Amino acid sequence: MSVTRQVVVGTAAGRAAVNGWRLVVDALRGRDVDTVRGPVGRAVVMLAIPMVLEMMMESVFSIVDIFFLAKLGADAIAAVGLTESLMAVVYTVAGGLGVGVTAVVARRTGEGDRDGAARATVQALGLGVLLSVVLGVAGVLYAERCLAMMGASPEALRAGTGYAAVMLGGNGAVVLLFLLNAAFRGAGDGAIAMRVLWLANGLNILLDPLLIFGPGPFPELGVTGAAVATVIGRGVGVLFQLLMLFNGSGRLHVRVRHVGLDPALVWRLVRLSGAGTLQAFISTVSWIGLTRVVAMFGSQALAGFTVAMRIVMFALLPAWGLGGAAATMVGQGLGAGDADRAERSVWIAGLLNLVLLGGAAIVFLAGAPAIVDTFGAEGAAREYAVRCLRIVSCGFFLFAFGSVLTQSFNGAGDTWTPTWLNVLCYWCWELPLGWFLASRVGLGPDGVFAAVTISFSTLTLIAAALFRRGRWRRVVV
């Protein structure tokens, strides 16, 4: 290569690096960008970066809890794992509402109807408050019974009942946090959602050791202290969201005229959110079922599974962030009457996700023991966690596209396609396969780990075929 050509190539690479860095900085600052009509690739990245960081921050809650509670032993970790399985019901409701509000807010934003987006947010907020009250009362009353039903040992039951009661009773912080962030994302204002999670996690990291171990004037609450810290952190995050929503500093601004009951809009949100909730419910039941199968092999297996899946979720939640960016772009593109732009955004997000998840899979395959060691797992629990992390990460390469495709259907308002995909791939495939491989084939917990990987891959292949058919282009929201 000539000196001139080397200089040209080096200069081009330098410009690309500078432009890439500027794009990252703009996304983190929340710089205004036209996600409806601007360049597709730039819009996807500008939406995806804060969404990826938001999802990473959401996963940090349980990882921080496990990090500190690991010092209290395997029963404390098992209690967190079982409670997280119960909290999956809350995440199901919150995620389902989020699907509906993102679809409607994104579509109204694409149409240029900001008042419509604000009204949809208010109606969803009312639904979220109502549902969180019902779930909270039930959770406080039946926390111990639910843990016992999940197969908790007597030691884990004693350690985790207070933790479960606080987490379930304070579920409103989760529901509203998820719901309002979904509204901000639908409006293309993902930077606000990202900052909310930074604030909430900072408080959780600060309060966890203080309330678990009780240094100085702080009460020593043990396992329950981790739940109190998490609820406080999320609750403060919700207050910040409401402040941003009502002060008009972002793209989504609620005014007094937007407040009030709109039965037609409520029904539209219920219809979309109902299917979204059913999607999450299906995958949640499968998750709870798999956790129950692993629990059959003892606390060590369950502790290893819990540690590994928390790490896996840390990798997958950023992938869901990219899927959220694609869902927003699809909703806005259809609202603006440009379905081709919507489709291009999905494939671009999928390729970016492949880079992200493929890199995570390589790291997990090569460095699983070192990664697991940072969470304090020992003995048999450590070995289970290492094997789980390696087996499940093999499915990341295909699921990079699957996680984006399923959320893209939701962004278009076609919520029933991913619902039936979940029925097929999780209930009819993952759950029975995990039980069969673990109990009948004799693979033990490794059979459950393999079933997760196989179901990831199956979901992706079917979702890609359905997306190419294009029925999502004609959905009315």
The reported pLDDT for the residue numbered 6 is 52
pLDDT at 27: 61
Tell me how far apart the alpha carbons of residues 332 and 216 are, in angstroms, rounded to a whole number: 52
Average pLDDT, the chain: 83
**Total residue count of the chain as it appears in this document:** 477
C-alpha separations of 59 from 287, 363, 463 in Å: 16, 18, 25
Res 475 pLDDT > 60? yes
The amino acid at residue 414 is D
Of 298 and 34, the structure prediction assigns the larger pLDDT to: 298
Residue, of 451 and 71, whose pLDDT is higher? 451
Listed residue (28, 154, 156, 169) closest to 87, CA to CA: 169
Query: Which range, 174-188, 321-335, 358-372, is most confident?
Result: 358-372
List the one residue out of 203, 183, 14 whose CA is nearest residue 104: 183
pLDDT in tens, 276-316: 788 878 877 888 888 888 888 888 888 888 888 888 877 88
pLDDT of residue 310: 80
| pLDDT over 60 at 7, yes or no | no
**pTM of the model as a whole:** 0.74
Over residues 203-229, the mean pLDDT reads 85
Percent of the chain residues past pLDDT 90, beyond the cut: 18
Residue 32 clears pLDDT 70, i.e. is over it: no
Determine the average pLDDT of the residues in 370-379.
Answer: 82
Enumerate residues 6+ apart whose C-beta is below 8 A from 53: 28, 194, 197, 318, 321
pLDDT band for position 167 (cuts 50, 70, 90): confident
Distance CA 26, CA 455 (A): 37
- pLDDT computed for residue 4 by the predictor: 54
> Measured between alpha carbons, how far is 39 from 37 in angstroms, rounded to an integer?
7
Q: pLDDT at residue 251 above 80?
A: no
pLDDT at position 359: 92
pLDDT of residue 397: 92
**Chain segment 382-424, per-residue pLDDT in tens:** 899 999 999 999 999 999 999 899 989 988 888 899 999 999 9
What is the pLDDT confidence band of residue 331, given thresholds at 50, 70 and 90? confident
Query: Residue type at 400?
Result: A
Instruction: Using the predicted structure, report yes or no on whether residue 62 has a pLDDT greater than 90.
Output: no
Query: Rounded to whole angstroms, how far apart are CA atoms 237 and 173?
Result: 8
Q: Which has the closest alpha carbon to 327: 349, 311, 307, 305?
A: 349
Q: Are 425 and 462 in contact (CB under 8 A)?
A: yes
Does the pLDDT value for residue 249 go beyond 70? no
The span from the first CA to the last CA of the chain, in angstroms, equals 56
φ and ψ of 216, to 5 deg: 60, -130
63-94 burial: b if 16+ Cβ within 10 Å, else e: bbbbbbbbebbbbbbbbbbbbbbbbbbbbbbb
pLDDT in tens, 13-23: 566 566 556 66
Phi/psi at 233 (5° precision): -60, -45
Give pLDDT tens digits for 453-466. 999 899 999 999 99
Predicted local distance difference test score (pLDDT) of residue 28: 62
Token couple for 477: 């929201």
Within 13 A of 79's CA, how many CA atoms are on the CB side? Answer: 29
Q: Answer with the residue of higher pLDDT: 47 or 4.
A: 47
CA–CA separation, 464 and 354 (whole Å): 14
- Name the maximum alpha-carbon separation found in the chain: 76
3-state secondary structure of 378: coil
Alpha-carbon span 434 to 422, nearest angstrom: 16
Which residues 6+ apart lie within 8 Å of 34 measured at CB? 43
Count the helices and strands in the chain (H runs, E runs): 16, 0
